[in-house]
């Protein structure tokens, strides 16, 4: 087999990273926005307040834009996986075929019911329309679940046996979907999608309230967005802690790279900038301040993750911590006053935190994907051996990057037009 050059390996990885980094934004919105739609529509049916019906309809239009672009970018990703990493598909196709097939089923289900949501307001009964909206939310979550199961398997492969030649035999797809990484990756991914989207939506409507403090539309929208963002932000650090313990056990090289632990040692310290907490890392990783934590010195240089995982990890943890603190303070104020705090400083803080969720989301995927390197299938197939030998790969990398930039410009223009239209509709009220 002809091996790919180091440059082509880099371009193949960069193209997948660009595609995934672009797609994950639209996928996350496709997961979380339908849930917000369901909440708004359910409140309308319970209270009869037409403002919530209007809110659900407007959110549905925005969701459709993200769903359409997400469908395109997701399709591109599936082709890239086969074209850029053919050896991976040859080795793992029989295993990841099941979760990918189930994801396709969930995607088409979401598309069908999204059509009912968009065009069925005056054509189906309100209860049936709410059920269709709930199916969109459920299908979006299931789609994320099945894709994440495939990724979890890549990080902690199970459900097969290697024969003498290194081929995977005795394949059990169901056991593969129950990878040790499955639980925390699925929950962490869903919470990240809900948190990132809800904080972004909250920021948009906080800006609306800064411009028009009397707007009932923005007040309703901000309340619902934070009703989703707050529990997600508070739960995420707990799930992240559990994920870290799984990484410590199953991917010790990644943990060492994340914490920049150079030497294997008992009572490993937790380093936070200039601050070092003795035994802190051992305690977090193994619930024992004297536990031995494997350092980078236990791995050959070619088996260590790239250094970028450390700053990505710090960005993820730092922004996640800020979001959790904001959620905690906001929840306390909300509970004490029985209403959202709508002071100008609080609205400005909400606006400033708007991008934090998606930045943390992107950083988290750098931690997950780059932290697995140099492996495509952890401990079994190296990335350099999975990449196609067809060259040069810089051409598709540049081409698809330009396409994604163009799509991003189009999406921003469409959303800006929708927001302006909504503002004009709200103005006379």
For residue 295, the number of C-alpha atoms closer than 13 Å in the C-beta half-sphere is 13
Tokens at 174, concatenated: 């169901």
| Section 211-219 average pLDDT | 84
For residue 233, is it within any domain?
yes
For residue 23, is it within any domain?
yes
Beta strand pairing status for 265-266 and 275-277? Answer: unpaired
Between CA 378 and CA 164 the distance in angstroms is 19
Residue 423 scores a pLDDT above 60: no
- Three-class SS of residue 276? strand
Maximum Cα interatomic distance, the chain, rounded to a whole number of Å: 75
Stated pTM of the model: 0.89
What's the DSSP call for residue 376?
E
The pLDDT tens digits of the residues spanning 8-54 come to 888 888 888 888 888 888 889 889 999 999 999 999 989 888 888 88
For residue 66, is it within any domain?
yes
For residue 293, is it within any domain?
no
Q: Give the mean pLDDT of the chain.
A: 87
Q: How far is CA 187 from the centre of its chain?
A: 10
| Section 211-221 average pLDDT | 85
The number of folded domains in the chain is 1
| Section 58-66 average pLDDT | 84
- Reply yes or no: is the peptide bond before residue 145 cis, omega within 30 of 0: no
Q: How far is CA 279 from the centre of its chain?
A: 31
Residue 426 scores a pLDDT above 70: no
For residue 349, is it within any domain?
yes
Q: What integer pLDDT is reported at residue 124 of this predicted model? A: 86
pLDDT over 90, % of the chain: 38
Between CA 280 and CA 290 the distance in angstroms is 9
| Section 154-167 average pLDDT | 86
Between CA 321 and CA 315 the distance in angstroms is 10
CB burial readout 404-427, b (16+ within 10 A) else e = beebeeebeebeeeeeeebeeeee
pLDDT band at residue 389 using 50, 70 and 90 as cut-offs: confident
Q: What integer pLDDT is reported at residue 341 of this predicted model? A: 82
Q: Are 321 and 328 in contact (CB under 8 A)?
A: no
- Reply yes or no: is the peptide bond before residue 304 cis, omega within 30 of 0: no
For residue 61, is it within any domain?
yes
Q: What integer pLDDT is reported at residue 68 of this predicted model? A: 79
The pLDDT tens digits of the residues spanning 282-339 come to 998 898 988 999 999 999 999 999 999 999 999 999 999 999 999 999 999 888 888 7
Q: What integer pLDDT is reported at residue 363 of this predicted model? A: 93
Tokens at 203, concatenated: 């920021």
| Section 80-100 average pLDDT | 85
Q: Which residue has the higher pLDDT, 166 or 350?
A: 350
Beta strand pairing status for 375-377 and 381-382? Answer: antiparallel
Q: What integer pLDDT is reported at residue 428 of this predicted model? A: 47
| Section 200-213 average pLDDT | 89
What's the DSSP call for residue 159?
S
Other Cβ atoms closer than 10 A to 113: 23
**Residue among 221, 196, 193, 187 nearest 356 (CA):** 196
| DSSP codes of every residue in 134-184 | HHHHHHHHHHHHHHHHHHHHHHS--S-EE-TTS-EES--HHHHHT-TTHHH
Q: Are 378 and 156 in contact (CB under 8 A)?
A: yes
Provide the H-helix boundaries in 251-308. Answer: 252-259, 280-286
The helices-and-strands tally (H runs, E runs) of the chain is 14, 8
Domain extent, residue 91, equals 6-251+306-426
């Amino acid at each position: 087999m002809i091996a790919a050059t180091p440059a082509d390996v880099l371009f193949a990885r960069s193209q997948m990273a660009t595609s995934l980094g672009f797609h994950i934004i639209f996928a996350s919105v496709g997961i979380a926005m339908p849930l917000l739609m369901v909440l708004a529509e359910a409140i309308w049916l319970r209270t009869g307040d037409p403002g919530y019906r209007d809110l659900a309809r407007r959110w549905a239009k925005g969701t459709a834009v993200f769903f359409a672009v997400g469908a395109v970018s997701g399709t591109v990703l599936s082709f890239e996986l086969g074209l850029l990493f053919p050896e991976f598909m040859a080795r793992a196709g029989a295993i990841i075929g099941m979760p990918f097939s189930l994801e396709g089923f969930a995607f088409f289900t979401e598309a069908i019911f999204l059509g009912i949501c968009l065009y069925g307001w005056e054509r189906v009964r309100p209860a049936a329309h709410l059920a269709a909206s709930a199916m969109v939310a459920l299908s979006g979550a299931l789609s994320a679940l099945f894709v994440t199961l495939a990724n979890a398997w890549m990080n902690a492969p199970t459900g097969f046996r290697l024969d003498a030649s290194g081929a995977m035999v005795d394949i059990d797809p169901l056991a593969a979907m129950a990878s040790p990484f499955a639980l925390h990756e699925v929950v962490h991914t869903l919470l990240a999608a809900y948190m990132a989207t809800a904080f972004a939506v909250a920021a948009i409507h906080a800006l609306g309230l800064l411009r028009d403090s009397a707007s009932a539309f923005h007040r309703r929208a901000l309340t619902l967005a934070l009703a989703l963002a707050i529990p997600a932000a508070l739960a995420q650090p707990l799930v992240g802690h559990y994920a870290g313990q799984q990484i410590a056990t199953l991917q010790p090289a990644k943990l060492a790279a994340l914490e920049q632990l150079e030497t294997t040692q008992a009572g490993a310290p937790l380093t936070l900038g200039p601050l070092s907490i003795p035994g802190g890392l051992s305690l977090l990783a193994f619930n024992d301040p004297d536990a031995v934590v494997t350092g980078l010195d236990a791995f050959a240089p070619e088996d260590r993750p790239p250094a970028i995982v450390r700053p990505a990890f710090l960005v993820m943890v730092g922004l996640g911590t800020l979001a959790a603190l904001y959620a905690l303070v906001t929840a306390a104020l909300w509970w004490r006053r029985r209403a959202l705090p709508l002071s100008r400083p609080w609205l400005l803080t909400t606006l400033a935190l708007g991008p934090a969720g998606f930045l943390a989301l992107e950083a988290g995927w750098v931690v997950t994907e780059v932290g697995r390197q140099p492996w495509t299938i952890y401990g079994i197939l190296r990335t350099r051996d999975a990449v196609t030998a067809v060259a040069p790969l810089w051409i598709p990398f540049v081409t698809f990057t330009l396409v994604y930039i163009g799509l991003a410009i189009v999406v921003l223009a469409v959303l800006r037009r929708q927001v302006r239209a909504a503002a004009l509709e709200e103005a006379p009220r």
